[in-house]
Structure 1
Amino acid sequence: MKKADIEFRQNCIYSKIFDDIYFDSEDGIKESKFVYTRAFEFNDNQDFIIAELGFGIGLNFFLCLERFYEEKIPKRLFYVSLEGFYIEKNELRDIYKKLGFYDRFKEYLEHFLAFYPKAKDGIYRFYFRDCFLDLVFSDATKMIKELDFKADVWFLDGFNPKNNKELFDDFMIKEIARLSKKGASLHTFSASTSLQKSLKKFGFHIEKKKGFKKREMIIAKFDNFDFDDTKAYFTRLYQNKAQKIAIIGSGIAGLSLAYELSLRNFDVEIFDKKDKISDGASGNESGILSSLILKKGVLLGEFSEFSFYEASRFYRQILALKPDGVLEIAHNDLMKDRFFNQKDNILFKINENKAFLEDGLSLKPRQICKALFEKSGAKLHLKHEFIAFSYENTFTLKFKNQSERKGFDILIYALGSDSKDFINYEFMKLSKVRGQLSLAKPFLDNRFALSSKGYVCVKEKDFQVFGASYDRTNSSKEPSMQDDKNNLENIKEFLTDDIVPEIIGSRVSFRSYSSDRFMIAGAFYDENFYKENYKKLFWTKNKAQKKAKNLPNLYLSIAHGSRAFASAIIAARYICALINNEPLGIEKKFVEQIHPARFLIRKLRKGLL
């Protein structure tokens, strides 16, 4: 990501790249209020979405947040801001101090800076009280096509159009129109003729107003513009608002969903067949939050990086966990090539065959699940083995040896390894993989988790976890001495001759995997509709497609494999966005990889059906 090149000139923040000022210390707040943050009205909807080109130092956001808390409407604020030039954390703080803004925004600013991301392209979510900020780092002309939301208000910030033409051209205005609700307002300091022409071309009505210390500026209202959707089968469908939600499964997939849904004031109930919470793979004594390290441009690797880093930031923001790092070691030539290819990746500090992920976490999975459950305020029903459901406007859930539960507006499957028994799409191949981890008396005084053929967690008071086996053919729930021996063999590179771990226990759990190793998250799709309406996709793949059809109010978050404590956080964010019609918080290129219909669509696009 490009770095901003900033200096102070006569109380102004000046960009040497664009030969223009951000604003000056005397009038910066006044100008922001006049042009942007006080130039629109909040409505009384549950949620309000503001989008912005040019985050800069974040002044517009903090002023909007300040106003949101003052007026107390709407109930939740979503703010999406694109920024192509990175300012270092300490430099941002110094800017606020030099401008004299620091004391006013200290509480918000310091919370923001505590979770400020590295200089890497991506979408980074910040949690404020009743407010979600998605800070989008990238060249806006590239990343804007990866975004999906419908804004109530747009801020066209940035620098003078003469110096930054690409942010105000037809391409960008068309994308802004795509991301706007009917009636959305657009605010900009500029009144250039070329901008006005572009806005009119893509469905905006122009209103000129007196500018701030200038003759005039533009406020535009979006009416309508027809867009061709060549991938309508992956496009989300807006559904009626719901209130009561049932989640099947109390592992990390279900509990991260329960927490996120609670932030939107949904009434959530969780059902699990076990007699205690997160008793499957999410109930291990210790775990590791890390990332795959694959070659650049491999989407599975990019998604793994994104979910790893955002999960790390989530646990820091929500549960106050502190990263202690993970050391990944390449144990064969293929992995060494991948490490070399990623040597400049800011998430991985790579030295030859070693990669230190400073944002990695040593996890206590059961404690994390318990904390998220408590924070969610959800109702929990244990010993409820889900069998089936019926649907007629609302869901009725059926359980083995338990009474039916009725009146749920939405049902979400977060079934873990049981997913294979409940989901029967033709081309969705799910596998149930057995994993055994081993527990020993503390044997290694490692400050951070170690991972290679096997992994070694940071020691606890009375035990240390290492593992884990991976077996698609074994369905036994009983621990195996041979698996313990194999686990020991796989961590030999971390041991010296005088260290002989004394195994004191084992734990077997099962994980769900998809055939392409991506998680599966989103709405259940209508398979018959897809097969009928997209059967000619091989010939029409580049043409506009018919709007898709889903099964009503039914969602799933499954196939998280061994990295559920990363991907489940993204799945929860994504599913909440689908349910609540809010910014996705995930790039569209990843949506195509996690969408439940992807397996069928790949067949159709290749003409194999």
Structure 2
Amino acid sequence: MSGGKHMDEAAIEWGAPGDGDAPFFLAPRSIGFDDVYFSGDGAAETRHIFLAGNGLPARFDAPRFSIGELGFGTGLNFLCAWAAWNKAEKPEGARLSFFSVEAFPLSAGDMARAHEAWPDFEPLAARMREQLPPPHPGFHHIAFGDVSLTLYYGDALAGLSQTQGGVDAWFLDGFSPAKNPAMWSEDIFKELARLSKRQASFATFTVAGGVRRALEAAGFDWEKRPGFGRKKQMLAGRITAPPDETKRAPWFTEGAPLKSGARIAVIGAGIAGASLAHALKAAGFNPSVYEALAPASGASGNPAGLVMPRLDVGDTPAGAFHALSYLHTVKLLKEVGGGIFEPCGVLLHAVGEKERARQEKLLAQGALPEGWMARREEGLFFPQGGVVDPPGFVAALLGDAPLIAERVRRLMQTENGWRVITDESREEFDGVVIANGLDALRFAEARTLPLGGSAGQVDWFPDAAPPANAHAFGPYAAPCPKFGERGGGAIIGATYAPAAIGAIGAKARFTKEATGSNIAAMARALPDFASTLAADASRPRASVRCTTPDRLPVCGPLPDWGFYGGAYDDLRTGKRKNYPPGELRPGLFVLTGLGSRGLVTAPYAAALLAAALSGAPVDSTILQALHPARFFIRDLKRAGAR
């Protein structure tokens, strides 16, 4: 969890004496830990210690395999595992998940220089470098076809403590225990045990006594094996019976993962449904998307949308979610390409002294990485932000996922999954994700969620001279680039007219009054620009956003509300006891309540949900903050406090 914190890149020196013979004499050495990242033929050492030590690639004959690593460093172990995975015989549709923690990421230049030692890996290494996130604390999710990489940047123990998911094999590759003892502590190994699947293996280059004792204390069996090169011995072993422990509150359970290749129905083809289609397919599932009207027909269908972060002061799950969502979506927009994004930069105006003080705190805490926000006289500038074509983004994320143009009337739980019932068909799926905004309340299974509606209108002026950058100050003004045959001119917005919680079927209609309100808002912040706008030149568009009381999305498994009402009723009295784990509707999930930030938050929320459904390591603190049960539990606790 991190709403931000300045993060240092690794301090590297090159070619330290004794790092090996040519051509490997330019090996990188960490100045802070006084230890090398690799020496001699680093790839051969990785294959001997970490791959062979864990029985790989022979164990890749599974639908899903998960590797966890301490110390990402140059990414060498990941590249070796990726290359071995590509050559291994495995089931059709199999997926490899690789999870690694790193406190001091290498700079892009140092990473590229290190990779020069292994030209055979260059095609994979180049793909990896292109997708690596900037140095910012937290969990970063990257997909490479049938291989996924989850990087946690930050302190190893903090990251592992936040993680949920199962690991089949551990690569223990931090700097040596003498140089970096914190990486080899008993607390670290307890977390590794908690995250291990039954019979999970491990391998490491060190045979230090403290490491052996910490492994034993955590429940791992170990044995010494022949080492590599000048290292005579190494350790390898496994954990037979991992502890059945969780860091989650009992009511925030996530349920069992779905099988690889599971058929999942996604209801809704706005930015939430499209993001799910993209993330679920990357995670090895087979999504089909139901949409009664057309993709991006709701709030995702505006002629242009703003891509900028919502940043929170302090170290909170909400702050971490919003910052990581922004970094993820900017990366994703580059990945999908297609001329749907214009990174014109966004200026967040400091409207009043209170907002200016808040922005100074954001700068001080490093709410975004260096180079991702800058102080301007008017406020904060986000150079990577800009304007996206929402329908184009939705189309790119949907890709070739089957699109079923039918309205889902009802969901029926079956012995093996869910039956999706429309007026035209009754189709069986292994799982369902409800992602249709406020219309989620049409389904009885989601009706307990406190979703509300907010009607908003934007005004598009196709012939207006736009500002050079986007401007946000509550309302916003932005250039509306020419996205194919769409766009041009400027767009302003958006009005906010809250609807009642539970307003199923709420509709929004554009009005002349709303256009006047949008122009008046521009006049207060950008008077010169506003003077060029004529109300009768506008092409308005209105839609309903789906909102939640805490302004965070709802993302995760849907509870069995009857069980929750009975099992947790004592929370009303403040009674402390061992509450049972929450029971869920197996295979039923939701992603909604995105408010006005869906273009930025939906892709990361979808990636989190897809990772959880596949059993891959994921951030439990953010998942709990987004969990659909949070309002139900909050209301019970508040009733007891009165």
TM-score normalised to structure 1 length: 0.92
User: Within the alignment, does 1:288 sit opposite 2:306 as a pair?
Assistant: yes
**CA shift at 1:237, angstroms?**
1.5
Q: 1:424 to 1:260 in 2, by over 3 A?
A: closer
**CA shift at 1:605, angstroms?**
4.5
State the partner residue of 2:288.
269
What per-residue deviation string (whole Å, max 9, x for no partner) do you get for residues 181-235 of structure 1? 1111111111122211221222211121111122321102011133444613213
CA distance in 2, matches of 1:240, 1:16: 44
1:261 is matched by which residue type in structure 2? L
CA distance in 1, matches of 2:377, 2:489: 32
**CA shift at 1:94, angstroms?**
2.1
1:471 to 497, 514, 527: 497
1:599 is matched by which residue type in structure 2? F
State the partner residue of 1:311.
329
State the partner residue of 1:51.
68
User: Within the alignment, does 1:486 sit opposite 2:517 as a pair?
Assistant: yes
1:253 to 260, 269, 272: 272
2:634 to 586, 602, 607: 602
User: Within the alignment, does 1:359 sit opposite 2:379 as a pair?
Assistant: no
Q: 1:118 to 1:575 in 2, by over 3 A?
A: closer
CA distance in 2, matches of 1:129, 1:239: 20
CA distance in 1, matches of 2:615, 2:474: 42
State the partner residue of 2:21.
none
2:547 to 497, 513, 517: 513
**CA shift at 1:593, angstroms?**
1.1
1:583 to 614, 617, 630: 617
Contact 1:454 1:466 in 2 (8 A): yes
State the partner residue of 2:252.
234
CA distance in 1, matches of 2:244, 2:283: 30
CA distance in 2, matches of 1:318, 1:542: 49
Contact 2:451 2:546 in 1 (8 A): yes
What secondary structure is seen at the aligned counterpart in 2 of 1:403? coil
User: Within the alignment, does 1:5 sit opposite 2:11 as a pair?
Assistant: yes
Q: 1:353 to 1:608 in 2, by over 3 A?
A: farther
Q: 1:256 to 1:177 in 2, by over 3 A?
A: same
Task: Within 5 Å, give how 1:53-452 maps onto structure 2.
Answer: 53-73=70-90, 75-97=94-116, 100-101=117-118, 103-212=119-228, 213-229=230-246, 231-239=249-257, 241=259, 243-274=262-293, 276-319=294-337, 323-344=343-364, 345=366, 346=369, 347-373=372-398, 375=399, 377-382=400-405, 384-393=406-415, 394-399=417-422, 402-422=423-443, 428-452=449-473
CA distance in 1, matches of 2:292, 2:466: 38
CA distance in 2, matches of 1:34, 1:595: 42
Q: 1:198 to 1:23 in 2, by over 3 A?
A: same
Mean alpha-carbon deviation: is it higher for 4-13 or for 245-254?
Answer: 4-13
Contact 1:228 1:544 in 2 (8 A): no
**CA shift at 1:459, angstroms?**
3.0
Contact 1:249 1:270 in 2 (8 A): yes
What secondary structure is seen at the aligned counterpart in 1 of 2:640? coil
Contact 2:98 2:150 in 1 (8 A): yes
**CA shift at 1:511, angstroms?**
0.7
**CA shift at 1:389, angstroms?**
2.0
Contact 1:336 1:352 in 2 (8 A): no
Contact 1:312 1:323 in 2 (8 A): no
Contact 1:453 1:490 in 2 (8 A): no
User: Within the alignment, does 1:564 sit opposite 2:595 as a pair?
Assistant: no
CA distance in 2, matches of 1:444, 1:526: 53
What per-residue deviation string (whole Å, max 9, x for no partner) do you get for residues 15-34 of structure 1? 2212222222x332221111
Mean alpha-carbon deviation: is it higher for 45-54 or for 353-362?
Answer: 353-362
CA distance in 2, matches of 1:328, 1:422: 38
Q: 1:105 to 1:243 in 2, by over 3 A?
A: same
What per-residue deviation string (whole Å, max 9, x for no partner) do you get for residues 347-374 of structure 1? 321235421112213110011111222x
User: Within the alignment, does 1:18 sit opposite 2:33 as a pair?
Assistant: yes
1:115 is matched by which residue type in structure 2? Q
What secondary structure is seen at the aligned counterpart in 2 of 1:608? helix
Q: 1:498 to 1:62 in 2, by over 3 A?
A: closer
**CA shift at 1:262, angstroms?**
2.2
Q: 1:299 to 1:264 in 2, by over 3 A?
A: closer
Q: 1:195 to 1:571 in 2, by over 3 A?
A: same
Contact 1:425 1:527 in 2 (8 A): no
Mean alpha-carbon deviation: is it higher for 538-547 or for 72-81?
Answer: 538-547
1:310 is matched by which residue type in structure 2? H
What per-residue deviation string (whole Å, max 9, x for no partner) do you get for residues 263-287 of structure 1? 344333222221x222000111100
What secondary structure is seen at the aligned counterpart in 2 of 1:110? helix
State the number of aligned residues: 597
1:62 is matched by which residue type in structure 2? L
Unaligned segments of structure 2, at least 5 residues: 1-6, 18-24, 483-487, 501-505
What secondary structure is seen at the aligned counterpart in 1 of 2:46? helix
Mean alpha-carbon deviation: is it higher for 86-95 or for 139-148?
Answer: 86-95
Percent identity over the alignment is 26
1:563 is matched by which residue type in structure 2? R
Q: 1:124 to 1:579 in 2, by over 3 A?
A: closer
What secondary structure is seen at the aligned counterpart in 1 of 2:355? helix
What secondary structure is seen at the aligned counterpart in 2 of 1:49? strand
Q: 1:161 to 1:484 in 2, by over 3 A?
A: same
TM-score normalised to structure 2 length: 0.88
CA distance in 1, matches of 2:189, 2:175: 16
CA distance in 1, matches of 2:479, 2:45: 52
Q: 1:277 to 1:403 in 2, by over 3 A?
A: same
What secondary structure is seen at the aligned counterpart in 1 of 2:419? strand
CA distance in 1, matches of 2:342, 2:387: 9
**CA shift at 1:514, angstroms?**
0.6
CA distance in 2, matches of 1:515, 1:412: 21
What secondary structure is seen at the aligned counterpart in 2 of 1:582? coil
Q: 1:226 to 1:214 in 2, by over 3 A?
A: same
Contact 1:442 1:460 in 2 (8 A): no
1:117 is matched by which residue type in structure 2? P
What per-residue deviation string (whole Å, max 9, x for no partner) do you get for residues 472-502 of structure 1? 1496532111100111112222241784213
CA distance in 2, matches of 1:453, 1:603: 30
1:367 is matched by which residue type in structure 2? G
**CA shift at 1:36, angstroms?**
1.0
Q: 1:506 to 1:45 in 2, by over 3 A?
A: same
2:511 is matched by which residue type in structure 1? S
